[in-house]
Amino acid sequence: MKIEKYERFFLYATAVVLVVFFGAILMSVGEAGLHLPTQDAVLDPTAVGETPPFDNPGVYPTGPDEYTAVMVAQAWSYSPNEITVPAGSEVTFYVTSRDVIHGLLIPNTTINAMVIPGQVTKVTYRFEDAGEFPMVCHEFCGIGHAGMYGKVVVEG
């Protein structure tokens, strides 16, 4: 069978692109550890209020300079909407949503995550300096989206 020169070129080029893309997927799983949430990171989004730890949102000390922040996002606020920790604290956020997809962005930190109903988002950051950090929803979640924010108060 005769394959025209340019057709052969694009056949090979297509194969190369496929190999690169599949390689990227494999690397994201193997090297970067990206994967779907495991069973302990999913919950029934219609029963958030009865599912520990989300039946008791708040900030809990877990060790020296370590805190866990359990938060529920809903249209259009976080519960709790304001958390306070001392400077130097490492805070691990566990966040879920009781309705639609929200976001959790804390500018000038590494926290920038989606908050998805039925899943638990876990992010950690150490707040070294005192100050106030806004917590912003950065996934469009309805008419009140622009007003969905809270804050982290880091006390010196």
Q: What residue ranges bind ligand CUA (CB under 6 A)?
A: 76, 102, 137, 139-141, 145, 148
In the complex, minimum distance from the CB of residue 145 to ligand CUA, in angstroms, rounded to a whole number: 4
CA dist., res. 63 & res. 23, Å (int): 40
117/4 Cα distance (integer angstroms): 52
- Rounded distance between C-alpha atoms, residue 81 and residue 108, angstroms: 19
Residue number with CB closer to ligand CUA (89 or 117)? 117
Query: Taking the CB of residue 41, how many other CB atoms lie within 10 A of it?
Result: 14
Least distance in Å: CB of 97 to ligand CUA?
8
> Quick one: 98 or 145, whose CB is closer to ligand CUA?
145
- Nearer to ligand CUA by Cβ, of 81 and 110: the residue is 81
Q: Which is nearer to ligand CUA, 9 or 140 (CB)?
A: 140
State in angstroms the smallest separation of the CB of 19 from ligand CUA.
Answer: 38
> Tokens 């930190």 correspond to what residue?
109
d(C-alpha 21, C-alpha 95), whole Å: 31
What is the identity of the amino acid at 118? G
Residue closer to ligand CUA (CB basis): 51 or 138: 138
CB of 111 to ligand CUA, least distance (A): 15
Q: Give the shortest CB-81-to-ligand CUA separation in angstroms.
A: 12
